[in-house]
Amino acid sequence: MHVLWWIVVGLIAGWATGKIMRGSGYGAFMDILVGIVGALIGGWIMRALGFSGQGGMIYTILVAIAGAVILTWVLRLITGNRETGGGGMRRAA
C-alpha cells in the first residue's frame, strides 16, 4: 500500500511541477520518478529546517511538489534546458 501511495504522490507532484516550471514534463514514468525523488528532497529539507514531518496528505503533496520544483530547477541549471523537460528541437533565428 505504501508503494501505491508513493506513486500517487509522485504523479501528482511531478505533474504539478511540470505546470509550475512551465514545461511539458518528462513523460508519465519520469514525472512519477521526479515527484518521488522530490518528496525525498523536500522531506530532507523540511527535517533540516526543524519540521517533524508529521502531516497529512496535503502536507505530503506540498512537500513533494517543493522538492520536485527544486530538483527540476537544478536539473535545468545543469542541462541548460529551461523550457521543456524533453529534448525538443528549436528553430534557429
Residue 91 clears pLDDT 60, i.e. is over it? no
What the block records as the C-alpha cell of 19 is 505546470
What the block records as the C-alpha cell of 53 is 514531518
Indicate whether 86 belongs to any domain. Answer: no
| Domain extent for 30 | 2-79
Report helix, strand or coil for 65: helix
For the chain, the average pLDDT equals 77
pTM over 0.85: no
Domain count, the chain: 1
Indicate whether 6 belongs to any domain. Answer: yes
Q: How many residues does the chain have?
A: 93
- Give CA–CA dist 28/30, Å, rounded: 6
- Give CA–CA dist 42/60, Å, rounded: 9
Inter-axis angle of helices 2-20 and 57-79, nearest 10: 50
Residue 34 clears pLDDT 50, i.e. is over it? yes
- State pLDDT tens for residues 41-65: 888 888 888 887 677 888 888 888 9
Indicate whether 29 belongs to any domain. Answer: yes
